[in-house]
Chains A and B, each alone.
Chain A
Amino acid sequence: MNLVTYLRLARHAEQTFADSLRTVGRGHAKHPDVLFICQTLAKMSDKQARRLAPIVDRYGSSAASGDVEEPERLHAAGLAEVRTGPVGLLRDLQDLHVLGTLVQTTWTVVLQAARALRDDELIELCRHASGQNSRQLSWLNTRLKAAAPQSLIAA
């Protein structure tokens, strides 16, 4: 069953997103809202990744091959370092948004499978994770909108 591949992708994507949020927060710490909100958003993703672990195990152990590895090419690279300056902050927030969108669509895919499997636990997790992801994307969008004019025109 390929679902386990996607469950691992979801877990990996959430973890990458969380780590990247922390990297961007730290890198732009002179903007205290970016620092602290990125930490808050990272914790949301940590939690989803943690909640996924037992479900990955459940499907992993029942997988026919017994040893399904998700292909490396399915992964997204996280942000290892930040850019500098006002425009750098914009680009870093945009990169986070791209990563967050990958997380979003991954949950959409997993939710579809969970429904087909009538797996109530996984359906609930997908719904909750998707809701948290929306909050993360909304903040990134709000912050981007606020920063864009000043960064592109006056800075």
Chain B
Amino acid sequence: MTDRTVDIWGAGTPHAKGTVWPVRVDQHLDPGVTEEQVDRWVHSACLLCSNGCGCDIAVKDGRMVGVRGRASDEVNHGRLGPKGLYGSTVWSHAADRLTRPMIREGGALVECDWPAAMGRIVEVSQRLLREKGPLSHGFYTSGQLFLEEYYTLSVIGKAGLGTPHMDGNTRLCTATAAAALKESFGADGQPGCYADIEHCDTIFLYGHNLAETQTVLWSRVLDRTRGPHPPVLVCVDPRRTKVAEEAVRTGGVHLAPRVGTNLALMNGLTRELFEHGWVDDTWVAEHTLGVDELREVVGWYTPERVAEICGIDPAELRRAARIFGTGGAVLSTVLQGFYQSHQATAAAVAVNNLHLLRGMIGRPGAGILQMNGQPTAQNNRECGADGDLPGFRNWDDEQHVRQLAELWNVDPLKIPHWADPTHAMQIISYAEEGSIGFLWISATNPAVSMPESARIRRILAGEQCFVVVQDLFLTETARLADVVLPAAGWGEKTGTFTNADRTVHLSEKAVDPPGEARSDLDIFLAYADAMDFRDDDGAPLVKWRTPEEAFDAWRAASAGRPCDYSGLTYAKLRGPTGIRWPVTEAAPDGTERLYTDAVFPSATEYCETYGHDLLTGAAVTQQEHRALRPDGRAFLKGADYTPAHEPTSEEYPLLYTTGRTVHQFHTRTKTGRAEPLRRAAPDMWVELSPADAERLGIAEGDMVRVESPRGSIEAPARIGRVKEGAVFAPFHYGGEDRQANELTMTVWDPVSKQPCFKTAACRVSKVRAGGRR
């Protein structure tokens, strides 16, 4: 195999429309290890992007020594990306793994044993419960735990403590995907699946740099665009990415709207559909609500007006709309360029609207992929560790809450359900003011990943809130904690996880964790035991001990809901491929596509939410929802474009935007410890357009300072293909003067509550000439 840090997508296997994506098995073993030396291969799936590729872990002498893509898996057909190949296992035997709990004594973290660490946690937890009640407790978790762990944490938080303050870092990456699906269809859940790539005629990628974020999925697209009868691509991105280049190559369009103007662009595309009669009126009348209101909202957005707002060519907008409006099967994918930007939910909902207007949903090739940024984000949403109620239940529906209360045998009033759950940024604000005095952070690194990071560090380090951190390494966040718990990672524990297209995989324990590290499930169970949480009959609240028992409890909790796992078992998941939910008696092998019958989960008694005003985030009431009589119809919802929160000024004339790079994942907790990946993308940089660079007298490699009203960073400049007026920085890197989030704003989308990482104003100046030319 070639060096895949360079040959990122690997050898192509082009094929024709409608044919099965060919198999290509990728494998990587640690240097010096041969295939014959591998003791055994353990069933798993890759955790280093949101794609969730089926794979097997190579084990030799009790160590993980490599990975191999699983040929039979429907997600990847054997492939793995550079992160999965080089970054999956090396971190596991890094010398700096946490192997013992730590506790803060006299200002410093010192090692201790588990009873001492858990004793300190329980002492603070119980004192705060006595003094202030459950609202003093907050949990901030990950997009990388297993379903069993999220569900267990959810039960502890909602039925043990009774706090609404639970969220995941999925809020930073995936909250808008969930919100958009809920607002349009009534419940979360991806309508389409990855196999739609094989059947489509057109692919629209909205703010989705697929080539870098999900490399295996991009190779799947390339195998279509390089084969017979290729699809036409349309790319919406302020950078000239590989995706944008491929769009132009296939005869499609690259639209590069000004940062913060996505919704204006979407309103323009929508208006074109109406103007040219590219709307399936019969289908829309039968299966949707709100078409007249939507037509009225977008009426103002002529191509010329949109072009002026977005800084694009109106002819290009018209051409993109024509491709959407007149083509065969259209597949749309959406990611952070929309989710982390201004008016995120409204823009993502607009993508759903386009599909609904043409009836482009629920059949092969006509799909929507509201993508996830993290591998197990979907489980966080399903299980309720992000604050939602488990099983996509509606917090505002007393019947739904009663179902959970019966399942857990607790008083319905114990389960907090008085408003939308508390989102991550609000949890942090409560921790800042001290009304949350106990914050438990698992498997995530907010000191680097949250906006306005200087503020986050100050809050976590402060005395007003006791912080527990559970992770693999002493991350930037763990260093600020009061108690640090060593956790087992991927391959060191068993559990399931679900990717963006609803495919559930089982990841089995391959090796023991180092030292005294424990699985996240065991840690949560130990806390539940120590706190002695009980149900209404005095029995222990959490009635399971093993991952499989937790999974069975979840199957019962999900039964009858849109994400129904009731027909799925560990035994089934040990088969050749992952399986898409819902899996029920009626659909024992899973469900490829949702809404094939054009019936949506929008009925008042069944839906996950009654919806929100897309402009303000105001909640629609049950009474208002019932009056609309959705009865299985999808919602067409629009909103006016408004300018972003921090406009450019003389002082800060450029727009700052952040994103990923192909070789790193999140804050590099794992990928930063893999030598090939570290070498391929060792450090921070900032990217400027050639025009801005020239105006500022900056050359490739010069050290530059980027400043926003909140802070500054210094990094070498790359003269990239970012749109003029925009500055791009990757968000993976830690360290106070080179962290992308020193500059970003504390502000979020009104509906999804996802922070806006892509709309800060900034200025750039040269610090000194660089060595590279």
Binding site for B on A (CB under 8 A): 31-33, 36-37, 40-41, 86, 135-136, 138-139, 141-142, 145-146, 148-150, 153-155
**Please, which residues of chain A bring their CB within 8 A of the CB of B745?**
32
Residues of B contacting A41 with CB < 8 Å? 616
A135 and B618 contacting across the interface, CB-CB below 8 Å: yes
Cβ of B119 under 8 Å from chain A: no
Contact B618 A142 (CB under 8 A): yes
User: Do the beta carbons of B435 and A40 come within 8 Å of each other?
Assistant: no
Do B618 and A154 have beta carbons less than 8 Å apart? no
- Specify which chain B residues have a CB less than 8 angstroms from the CB of A37 in the assembled complex: 616-617, 750
Given contacts A86-B435, A146-B419, A149-B418, contact A40 B615 (CB under 8 A): yes
| Residues of chain B in range 126-160 having any CB-CB distance to chain A below 8 Å | 132-133, 135-136
B645 near A36: Cβ-Cβ < 8 Å? yes
Q: Which residues 737-752 in B have Cβ within 8 Å of A in the complex?
A: 745-748, 750
Known A32-B747, A154-B133; judge A139-B435 contact (CB<8 A).
no
**Given A32-B747, A41-B616, A150-B430, is A145 in contact with B419 using a C-beta cutoff of 8 Å?**
yes
In the complex where A146-B420, A153-B133, A155-B435 touch, is A138 in contact with B618 (Cβ < 8 A)? yes
Cα distance A145–B422 in the bound complex, in angstroms? 11
> Which residues of B come within 8 Å of A, CB atoms?
132-133, 135-136, 164, 416, 418-420, 422, 426, 429-430, 433, 435-436, 613, 615-621, 642, 645, 745-748, 750
Measured in the bound complex, the distance between the Cα atoms of B611 and A138 in whole Å is 12
Centre residue among B416, B418, B430, B619 by max chain A CB count within 10 A: B619
Closest to B426 in A: A146
Would you call B613 and A138 a contact (CB within 8 A)?
Answer: yes
Q: Which residue of A lies closest to B133 (CB)?
A: A153
- Which A residue's beta carbon lies closest to that of B136? A154
How far is B164's CA from A138's CA once the two chains are assembled, in angstroms?
21
A139 to B613, CA, bound (A): 8
In addition to A37-B750, A149-B135, 7 A-B residue pairs with Cβ atoms within 8 Å of each other are A32-B746, A138-B618, A142-B419, A142-B617, A150-B435, A153-B135, A154-B133
Assuming the contacts A145-B419, A150-B430, A154-B435, asked whether A138 and B616 have C-beta atoms less than 8 A apart, the reply is yes
* A31→B429 contact, CB < 8 A: yes
Complex: how many Å from CA A138 to CA B612? Answer: 10
B435 x A141 contact (CB < 8 A): no
Q: How far is the CB of B647 from chain A (nearest CB, A)?
A: 12
Q: Which residues of A contact B621 (CB under 8 A)?
A: 138
Interface hub of A32, A37, A136 (most chain B Cβ within 10 A): A32
- Chain A contacts of B418 at CB under 8 A? 145, 148-149
Residue of A nearest to B132 (CB): A154
**Cα–Cα, bound, A27→B136 (Å):** 26
Q: How far is the CB of A134 from chain B (nearest CB, A)?
A: 9
Q: Tell me whether A139 and B618 are in contact (CB under 8 A).
A: yes
Q: How near does chain B come to A149, taking the closest CB pair, in angstroms?
A: 6
Contact across chains for A135 and B436 when beta carbons are under 8 A apart: no
Least CB distance, B97 to chain A, in whole angstroms: 36
- Min CB gap A121→B, angstroms: 18
- Closest chain B residue, CB of each to CB of A153: B135
A86–B645 alpha-carbon span in the complex (Å) = 24
What are 28 A-B pairs at a CB distance below 8 A?
A32-B746, A32-B747, A33-B617, A33-B750, A40-B616, A40-B642, A86-B433, A86-B435, A135-B613, A136-B616, A138-B616, A139-B617, A139-B618, A141-B619, A142-B420, A142-B617, A148-B418, A149-B416, A149-B418, A150-B135, A150-B422, A150-B435, A153-B133, A153-B135, A154-B132, A154-B133, A154-B436, A155-B435
User: Inside 8 A of B620's CB, which chain A residues have their CB?
Assistant: 138
User: Which residues of chain B have C-beta atoms less than 8 A from A139's C-beta?
Assistant: 613, 616-618
User: A135–B615 contact, CB under 8 A?
Assistant: yes
Task: Report Cα–Cα, A152/B59, bound state, in Å.
Answer: 55
Nearest CB in chain B: distance from A118 CB, A: 24
Interchain nearest-CB distance for B637 vs A (Å): 13
Hey, which chain B residues are within 8 Å of A36, CB to CB? 645, 747
Least CB separation from B624: chain A residue: A138
Q: Which residues of A contact B642 (CB under 8 A)?
A: 40
Closest residue of chain A to B619, judged by CB?
A142
Cβ of B422: which chain A residues have Cβ within 8 Å of it?
146, 150
Q: Are B435's CB and A135's CB within 8 A?
A: no
List chain A residues, Cβ under 8 A from B617: 33, 37, 139, 142
Measured between alpha carbons, how far is A89 from B709 in the docked complex, in Å?
25
A150 to B165, CA, bound (A): 10
User: In the complex, A101→B233 CA distance in Å?
Assistant: 50
Chain B residue nearest in CB terms to A36: B645
Complex contacts, B430 vs chain A, CB 8 Å = 150, 154
| Inter-chain contact B135/A154, CB cutoff 8 Å | yes
Give the chain B neighbours of A31 by CB distance below 8 A: 429
Give the Cβ gap from A88 to chain B, nearest Cβ, in Å.
12
Give the Cβ gap from B670 to chain A, nearest Cβ, in Å.
Answer: 32
A146 to B133, CA, bound (A): 17
A150 to B620, CA, bound (A): 22
Alpha-carbon separation in the docked complex, A32 to B750 (Å) = 10
Query: Which residue from chain A places its CB closest to the CB of B746 in the assembled complex?
Result: A32
A150 shortest CB reach to chain B, Å: 6
Residues of B within 8 A of A32 (CB): 645, 745-748
Q: Which residue of B lies closest to A144 (CB)?
A: B419
Q: Give chain B residues whose Cβ lies under 8 Å from the Cβ of A145.
A: 418-419, 619
The CA-CA distance from A139 to B433 in the complex, in Å, is 24
Give chain B residues whose Cβ lies under 8 Å from the Cβ of A33: 617, 747-748, 750
Closest to B164 in A: A149
- For the complex, what is the distance from the CA of A43 to the CA of B132, rounded to whole Å? 39
Residue ID in chain A nearest B420 by CB atoms: A146
Residue in chain B with minimal CB distance to A155? B435
Q: A86-B435, A146-B420, A150-B135 given as contacts; is B619 within 8 A of A138 (CB)? A: yes
Distance between Cα atoms of A150 and B164 in the complex (Å): 10
Min Cβ gap A90→B in Å is: 13
Please give, as numbers and ranges, the residues of chain B lying within 8 Å of A148 by CB-CB distance. Answer: 418
- State the CA gap A136–B618 with chains docked (Å): 8
Closest A residue to B756 using CB positions: A32
The interface centre, meaning the residue of A32, A145, A154 with most chain B CB atoms within 10 A of its CB, is: A154
Which residues of chain B have C-beta atoms less than 8 A from A141's C-beta? 618-619
Residue of chain A at shortest CB distance from B429: A31
The 9 A-B residue pairs whose C-beta atoms are closest, nearest first, are: A138-B618, A139-B618, A154-B135, A154-B435, A146-B419, A139-B616, A32-B747, A145-B419, A155-B435
Residues of chain A with a CB closer than 8 A to B135's CB:
149-150, 153-154
CB distance from B642 to the nearest CB of A (A): 7
| Residues of B close to A154: CB separation below 8 A | 132-133, 135-136, 430, 435-436
In the docked arrangement, what's the CA distance between A97 and B136, Å? 28
Chain A neighbourhood of B429, CB < 8 A? 31
Name the A residues within 8 Å of B416 (CB-CB).
149
